[in-house]
Amino acid sequence: MAQLKRTPLYEEHVKLNAKIVDFAGWEMPIQYKGITPEHLAVRNNCGIFDVSHMGEIFITGKDAEKYLQYLITGDVTKLNEKQIVYTMMCYENGGIVDDLLVYKFSNEKYLLVVNASNVDKDYEWMLKHKANFNVLIENLSQAYGQVALQGPSAQKLLQQFTEFDLGKIKFFYFEEIHIKGINCLVSRTGYTGEDGFEIYTSEADILPIWQTLVSLEAVEPIGLGARDTLRFEASLPLYGNEIGADISPLEAGFGFFVKLDTDFIGKEALLKQKENGLKRKLVGLQLLKKGICRHGYPVYDINENEIGIITTGYLLPNHDNSVALALIDVNQAELDNKVLVKIRNKFYEAQVVSKKFINKKYNK
């Protein structure tokens, strides 16, 4: 087996007594104090995540805008400088290569932030479709460290380390500023449903940034366990769960991020899917009795015919019943419809509910 990779912050996680797991080939902290207290810390105050394993790919050159427009489902021409868009890359058949953030520096320079588990695949995909576009595609994932500071207190806590007025960074915008004298790219983005920032800097400089922030009493270190419960509670998709090579963005309910008036890889298939009507839909489910829905559990109609699968499910802190996201037959997807979830060979009644498990508290 290949050697597991470590972020520049690995030793810090060990010092904080984190439980370490193998995640997409990386030795990452799954939890420090526990998933529940960490989840609540982000909702109520502030948490910091090591996300240095994420991929950073730069697209530069004269055709950067044109190339990206062809590569992603979103409309990159609508972006202002220093603005960010959440978007996807699709296969010709409409399945998803990856979901990503695109940071626009200029018409000739963009940063693409992709999932750790997909960096190599994405990079190859980008190279494969470079064709005659005049662009340089650089995978600089190893050179970058990244932390996310998330929660209602994030701005107040980060402000003391920079002279730049963070209030000027709008939702899904970024600035290149100094944090404690270190050059950083700071964006008002995140994966928790809370206000907060993602901070990028060199591999070497991420350590003092982490140490400065994590040493604050109000900041809890957060592992991948709570990262998943937080993003799930905010109904944000995870590649491999809600979206994937065999799930189209339309089925997953992300039609908003697919601009069919632009030309991109996979557009024909998605247009066709739209015309023919979708067969499956991503819905929220709530169990009607005690139990826990989890990723991969099958879902049935009330007559016990299989209709789909749980993409993510948990018993979340502050929820009485387990909730889930499930990809199911569109005919069963109406709100309040009763379905069955099979948990260890027993059927549990559940109800289709809104995917809005919480109200997001973005600072827009």
Partner 1 sequence: MRVIEGLYYSKEHEWIKVEAGKAYLGITDYAADALGDIVFIELPEVDSEYEKDEVIGVVESVKAASDLFTPVSGTVIEVNEDLEDEPQLLNTDAFGNYIAIIQLKDESELEELMDSESYKSFCENN
Provide, rounded to whole angstroms, the least separation between the CB of residue 312 and partner 1: 12
Alpha-carbon span 121 to 250, nearest angstrom: 22
Q: Is 312 helix (H, G, I), strand (E, B) or coil?
A: strand
Q: Which stretch binds partner 1 (CB under 8 A): 100-108, 116-124, 209-217, 285-293?
A: 285-293
Tell me the site size for partner 1, rule CB under 8 A: 18
Q: Which is nearer to partner 1, 34 or 167 (CB)?
A: 34
Choice from 229, 241, 273, 311 touching partner 1 (CB under 8 A): 229
The residues with which 325 forms a beta bridge, in sequence order, are 284, 312
Under 8 Å between Cβ of 101 and 191? no
User: Smallest gap, in angstroms, from Cβ of residue 20 to partner 1?
Assistant: 13
Which amino acid makes up residue 273? Q
Closer residue to partner 1 in complex, CB, 245/292: 292
Which listed range, 87-95, 151-159, 172-180, 291-299, lies at the site for partner 1 (CB under 8 A)? 291-299
Interaction between residue 30 and partner 1 (CB under 8 A): yes
DSSP E strands, the chain: 19-23, 26-31, 47-50, 55-60, 84-90, 96-106, 109-114, 136-139, 144-150, 174-179, 182-187, 196-202, 220-221, 280-287, 298-300, 306-314, 323-329, 338-343, 346-353
| Cα separation, 348 vs 304, whole angstroms | 11
Instruction: Choose one: 88-96, 159-167, 314-322, 328-336; the region binding partner 1 (CB under 8 A).
Output: 314-322
Of residues 42, 84, 294, 287, the one with CA closest to residue 171:
84
How far apart CA 327 and CA 281 sit, in angstroms, is 5
Tell me the C-alpha to C-alpha distance, in Å, between residue 196 and each of 148, 149, 307: 7, 6, 38
Give least dist CB 224 to partner 1, A.
9
Q: Which of 225, 249, 266, 284 binds partner 1 (CB under 8 A)?
A: 225
- The dihedral built from the CA positions of residue 350, 351, 352 and 354, taken in this order, carries a sign that is negative
Which lies closer to partner 1 via its Cβ, residue 330 or residue 358? 358
Min CB(350)–partner 1 separation in Å: 15
230 three-class SS: helix
The CA-atom distances, in angstroms, between 111 and each of 101, 148, 278 are: 8, 17, 33
Please, what is the minimum distance in Å from the beta carbon of residue 314 to partner 1? 6
Of 294-313, binders to partner 1 (CB under 8 A) are: 294
Considering the complex, what minimum distance in angstroms separates the CB of residue 289 from partner 1? 11
Contacts (CB under 8 A) with partner 1, residues 34-93: 34-36, 39
Site membership for partner 1, residue 15 (CB under 8 A):
no
Q: Decide if residue 7 touches partner 1 (CB under 8 A).
A: no
Among 62, 156, 170, 290, binds partner 1 (CB under 8 A): 290
Task: Out of 291, 310, 327, 357, name the contact with partner 1 by CB under 8 A.
Answer: 291
**Distance from C-alpha of 72 to C-alpha of 290, rounded to nearest angstrom:** 41
Report the C-alpha gap between 267 and 279 in whole angstroms.
Answer: 18
Q: Which of residues 333-352 bind partner 1 (CB under 8 A)?
A: 344
Residues engaged in binding partner 1 (CB under 8 A):
19, 30-31, 34-36, 39, 225, 229, 290-292, 294, 314-317, 344
